[in-house]
Structure 1
Amino acid sequence: MGEWSLFWTGDTSTPAAEVVSGWRDLREREAALRFRDRQPILVSPEGRVDPRLSKIFRRSTFSAKAEGTQETYAPIYRLFFTFLWQRGLNWDQATPEDLEDWEDWRRRAAANPKRIEGATWGKELAALNLLYKAARGQGYVRENPVLTHTVRTQDGGTAEVAELAPSDVVHADVKWLTPRAYRLWRNVGLGGLLPSGLEDEGWRGRLGGRDCAFADLTYSSGMRRREAGTILTCEIPELGRQNYYSGKVGQQVAKRAGHTFYASHAALQRVWGYRLSIRAEAVRAGQARGAYDEVPGRRIVRSVTRRGRVLWTEWDGRLGEGSLDTLTAADRLRLYIRTEDGLEPAMLWLAENGMPFSYRSWTKVFERASARCEALGLGVFATPHMLRHSMALRVLVALHNALDRRLGLTPADRRHYEDVYGQVWSMVKDMLGHKNEQVTRDIYLEPLRGLQLDSLLNDEDNPVDAEKLAELSARTGLILDVA
C-alpha cells in the first residue's frame, strides 16, 4: 500500500513471535541495541528501519518529551512520511513546498474525508518541527521544512512562530461542569438512567458501574486521563472516616512530575464498589479461561513496600524491581498479582474480558456517553479534561471563600492580602500537578474575570456550593449547567 508502519519497543499487545517470525528474543535484541522502553519504530514500505530516526527517538528533544506527547507525535510522523513516500520521496527529502501541500491536503482538500481543524494542525506542525529540527542538528537533513519567523512577545522577549501556523485555533468555550450538570451526564450517559431518573429498560451497558466510578474519581480528584486511567489497585486509598483521602500519582504517568491527588469519600466508595463487584467478576472470567497465564512480558508482583518499591518476577523467572514513580503506562499493563484464586491484573480498570483497560479508551467511553445524552435531548457533554477543569474551579472558589471566612475579611480588606490569596492558586496548582502557578491562573481564572468577586466570594448568607457555580454559569456562559 506504500504506507509507513509504526511499532513500539516493549509492546506487549502482540507476542514477539507474531511480530517477527522466529524472533522470540526480540526484547533482548531491542535491549542490546539500547532502545528505550516504548520507543517508536517507524518501518518504511520497503520494510526498512532508518537508524537515524531510531537515534532521534532514542536521544533528542523528542525522547525528553512526556510519554503522552511521544505517543501523539509518532503517528503524525507516520502519516507525513507516507504522504512523502507516495510522492516518491523519503522522509529526509521533505521541503517547505511539500509541507505546504500536506497542510492543504490535511485542512482543505475536498478529496480528504477527514480534514482537520486549526488546533490539530498546530499540534502536527509542532511535532514535525521538533523532528526535523533534531534531524538538521544531527546533519541528517539539509533543511527543516517547517519555516519559522521571529516575533516579539508581550514580555519583551522573542519566540519562533511557524509560517504555516494556524490562525483559526478555536478554544472550547465550555470547560467546566456544575455538579448537577455532571451528575445528569454521568447518570444518563454512563449509568444508563433516563433523564427522569428512572431505569432505562433498553439500556444494554454492562460496565456502567466501572465507567461511573472512573468519572467520579476524575471529577473528584482532577487527575488527568492517563493518571486516573493507569492507577493500580495498590494505589487506591483505603476507606476510613475522612471526607477526602490523598494518594500519589506516579512520576512517569504524570505529565511532568508526580504529585498528590485528593479524592472524596463518595468517589472512593464508588471505586471500591466497582473493585469488589464488576471488576471481581471480570477477573473471575479471565482466570476461568486462562487469559492471564500467557501474557507476553508479564511481571508477577511479589510485594510493594511502604516506600513504593515494587518487587516482581519476570516472565522468564528473573527477579526485577522498580518504584511506583518509575512505572510507565506500559509497565503497569504488564503487572499481575498472584492471589488464592490465581493471577489477576494489578491495574484497577479492566475491560469486560478481564484484561487491563487502556487509558486511551476512556475518550471513546466519554464520547458514547455524551452521544447518548444528546440523543435523549440533553444539552450536557463531558470529556475527561472537562472533569479535571471542573474539579479545579470548585476547589478554587471554595478555597477563596474559606479563606475569607477564616480571616474575617471584608471585600475591601481582601485587596490588601493578595499574598495570602496566592496560596489558593498554589494549592490548586499542586492538586492539578501544574508546572507553575501561572498556568493555573491562565486556565482557571477565565470564568471569574469580569465578575464582582468580592460579593461572590464573601456572601455570608450564601456559601460556595453548587448554586454558586450555577451563578457563574449564568453570568459567563462558560460553564455547562442544567436547569
Structure 2
Amino acid sequence: MAYEWRLFWVGDGGIPAGGRPVPGWEDLEERERALGLRKRQPILVAPDGRVEPRLSECLRRSAFSAKAQGTQVTYAPLYRLFFTFLWQRGLDWNEASEDDVEDWEDWRRRGATNPAPVDGGTWAKEQAALKLLYGIAAQRGLVPSNPVTLASPTDVKTSDVKWLSPRAFRLWRNVGLGGMLPGGLEDEAWRGRSAGRDTAYADLMYSSGLRRREGGTLLLCELPALGQRNYYPGKVGQAVAKRAGYTFYLGHPALQRVEGYRMSTRALAVTRARRGGAYDRLPDLRIIQSVSRAGRVRWRSRDGRAGESALGRLTAAERMLLFVEGEDGLEPAMLWLTESGLPLRYTSWTKVFERASDRCAASGLEVFATPKMLRHSMALRTLIALHNALDRRLGLTPAERLHYEEVYGQVWLMVKDMLGHRSEQVTRDVYLEPVRGLQLESLLGDDDNPVNAEKIAELAARTGLILDAA
C-alpha cells in the first residue's frame, strides 16, 4: 500500500501533480463534468485510493474556493503533505489533534530528518492554510474542533526593501535578464536565448504594477494597440486577478518592448513549434473563432465541439489551451511562450527572476528583484508623480499642501484603482505605509525637478527602504 496522499486537479485528465496518468481514468474528464465539479478544483486521494467526498466538498464550495487561484494552488500541496504525515501516524485527515499539529510544526521547522526546514514566514502561511481548511471542516461538523491553535511564529521576517529605484531596476534588468555587463557592454559569454521575452515581461510589470499571475497570463487580444499615447489602458480578467477584474495602465516604452518581443523572439518560437509539429500534438487546444466587442470569446476544439466564455472568466489553465489560427498556421493566444513555442506557466516567472538576481550577485551587484517588488515600485512612482502633478497644477508649496488632505486623498484612490485593490486602506497600509511617514512634502515641492529617478534616489538614500544603484 502506498503511504502518501496524492493531489489531482479537475480538468488535468487524472494526472497527479508531478506524476503520470492513472490507468483506467481515461474518461475522467467526462465524469468530472457529470458531477458538476469546477475547473481547477483540487482532489486529494488517500493512499488507499479513496476519495473522501466530505473533504472534496470542503474544497469545492467554501472559503477555500473563494480564495484566489494562486492561493489555492499554494494551499492544496500543503494539505497533501500534512495528510501524508497523519497517515504515517495511522490517522485520517479528519483525525488530527492539536498535538499532531504541534508535532508537524516541530518537524517542518526543526526536524532532524527534514531536509529543508522552513522559516517562520513560510510556516505562518502553512499554518494559515491548515487553519482555513479545518475551520471549514469544524463548521460542517466533520471534526470536533479546529486543531490549529498554535500561536503565530515570532520569527517572521519581512524585508525592508520593497521598492526598486528606476536605475536599480534598469541595472537588474539589463544584467540579470538581458545579458549585459555591469558597465553597459554586451557580455560575449551570455547564452540566454529568452532575453527579449524576459526583459519585455519585466518592463511590463514595472510599468503596469500587475501581479505575477495577471501579467503572466495575458492574451494577445488583451494587449493594448500600440499608438502615440503615453499610457495605454488594458483589462485584467477577474478569474486571474486576486479578487476582481480592473483596468491597468501600461507606459509607451514598455508596450514598445512587448511589441518587439512579439515580432522577434516570440515569432521565432512559434515558427520553430510549427515546423516541429508541436501544436499538432496538443489534444485539448481550443481554436478561437471570434472575440466580440463585449469581451466574449468563442472557440472550437479539434473534435468540433464549440464553447464560449467571457474573457474575464478564463482561468490561467484555460488561457493556456487557447490558440489562434493565422495564414501560417496555429499559434498560442497567450502572450508569453517558452523557447519551444508553448504557453509559459505564469509560476515560471519566479525562477526567471531568481536566476536574474543570482546573475547580478555573481557580477558583484547588490540588486535583486521579485515580481511583487516591481508592483510595489510602480505604486511608489505613481504616488510621487501624482503628488507632484497636483502641486504644479494647484500652485501649492509643500507647506500649503498640508491643508489639502482631502484633495490629495484622491491620489491614494487613483493608486488603489491602478493596483486593483478593494479598499484605499489596503493601499495605504500594505503597500505604501512606510512611504507615508517619510514627509514627502519636504522632498516633492521642487517645480524645477519633478518626480523622476532623482527623487526616488533621494528617498532611497534617506530611508534605506528603496533598493538603488550608485
Q: TM-score range by the shorter chain?
A: over 0.9
* 2:232 is aligned with 1:230: no
User: Runs of 4+ in structure 1 displaced over 4 angstroms?
Assistant: 12-15
Bigger shift: residues 104-113 or 212-221: 104-113
Query: 2:427: which partner in 1?
Result: 440
Bigger shift: residues 186-195 or 4-13: 4-13
In 2, Cα distance between equivalents of 1:138 and 1:96: 19
1:12 and 1:296 in contact (8 A); partners too: no
Amino acid at match of 2:98: P
Q: Deviations over 1:459-480 (max 9, x none)?
A: 2232211000000000110100
In 1, Cα distance between equivalents of 2:9 and 2:431: 36
Provide closer, same or farther for how the CA distance between residues 428 and 128 of structure 1 changes in structure 2, counting only shifts above 3 A.
Answer: same
Amino acid at match of 1:189: G
Amino acid at match of 1:336: F
In 2, Cα distance between equivalents of 1:12 and 1:295: 13
Q: Deviations over 1:288-332 (max 9, x none)?
A: 122112323221100111111101113431211101111010110
Cα shift at 1:412 = 2.9
In 1, Cα distance between equivalents of 2:41 and 2:205: 28
Bigger shift: residues 438-447 or 99-108: 438-447
Bigger shift: residues 36-45 or 131-140: 131-140
Query: 1:322: which partner in 2?
Result: 309
* 2:156 is aligned with 1:169: yes
Where does 1:92-171 land on structure 2 (aligned, <5 Å)?
A: 92-147=94-149, 163-171=150-158
In 2, Cα distance between equivalents of 1:32 and 1:280: 40
Bigger shift: residues 295-304 or 210-219: 295-304
Where does 1:60-75 land on structure 2 (aligned, <5 Å)?
A: 60-75=62-77
Instruction: Give the SS at the match of 1:357.
Output: coil
- Equivalent position to 2:55, from 53, 71, 91: 53
1:13 and 1:296 in contact (8 A); partners too: no
Cα shift at 1:450 = 4.3
Cα shift at 1:25 = 2.5
- Equivalent position to 1:180, from 162, 167, 175: 167
Query: 2:22: which partner in 1?
Result: 20
Where does 1:72-471 land on structure 2 (aligned, <5 Å)?
A: 72-147=74-149, 163-471=150-458
Provide closer, same or farther for how the CA distance between residues 92 and 451 of structure 1 changes in structure 2, counting only shifts above 3 A.
Answer: closer
Cα shift at 1:110 = 2.8
Bigger shift: residues 354-363 or 439-448: 439-448
Cα shift at 1:14 = 5.9
Amino acid at match of 2:397: T
Query: 2:43: which partner in 1?
Result: 41
CA RMSD of aligned residues (A): 1.5
Amino acid at match of 1:183: R
Q: Deviations over 1:179-204 (max 9, x none)?
A: 00000000000001110111111111
In 1, Cα distance between equivalents of 2:388 and 2:324: 45
Instruction: Give the SS at the match of 1:252.
Output: coil
Cα shift at 1:49 = 1.2
Amino acid at match of 1:50: E
Amino acid at match of 2:362: A
Q: Deviations over 1:251-286 (max 9, x none)?
A: 110001111111111101110111111111111111
2:416 and 2:424 in contact (8 A); partners too: yes
Query: 1:155: which partner in 2?
Result: none
Q: Deviations over 1:335-378 (max 9, x none)?
A: 01111111111000000111100000000000000000001100
Amino acid at match of 1:421: Y
Q: Deviations over 1:201-236 (max 9, x none)?
A: 111100011000000000000000000000001111
Query: 2:12: which partner in 1?
Result: 11
Provide closer, same or farther for how the CA distance between residues 447 and 55 of structure 1 changes in structure 2, counting only shifts above 3 A.
Answer: closer
1:81 and 1:90 in contact (8 A); partners too: yes
2:14 and 2:28 in contact (8 A); partners too: no
Bigger shift: residues 309-318 or 175-184: 309-318
Amino acid at match of 2:228: R
In 2, Cα distance between equivalents of 1:345 and 1:13: 24
Cα shift at 1:78 = 0.5
- Could you tell me which runs of 5 or more consecutive residues in structure 1 were left unpaired when the two chains were aligned: 148-162
Instruction: Give the SS at the match of 1:279.
Output: helix
2:120 and 2:153 in contact (8 A); partners too: yes
In 2, Cα distance between equivalents of 1:448 and 1:130: 32
Length-normalised TM-score, structure 2: 0.96
2:8 and 2:14 in contact (8 A); partners too: no
Q: Deviations over 1:76-114 (max 9, x none)?
A: 100100111111111111000000000111112233221
Instruction: Give the SS at the match of 1:293.
Output: helix
In 2, Cα distance between equivalents of 1:13 and 1:264: 42
Instruction: Give the SS at the match of 2:193.
Output: coil
Provide closer, same or farther for how the CA distance between residues 232 and 12 of structure 1 changes in structure 2, counting only shifts above 3 A.
Answer: farther
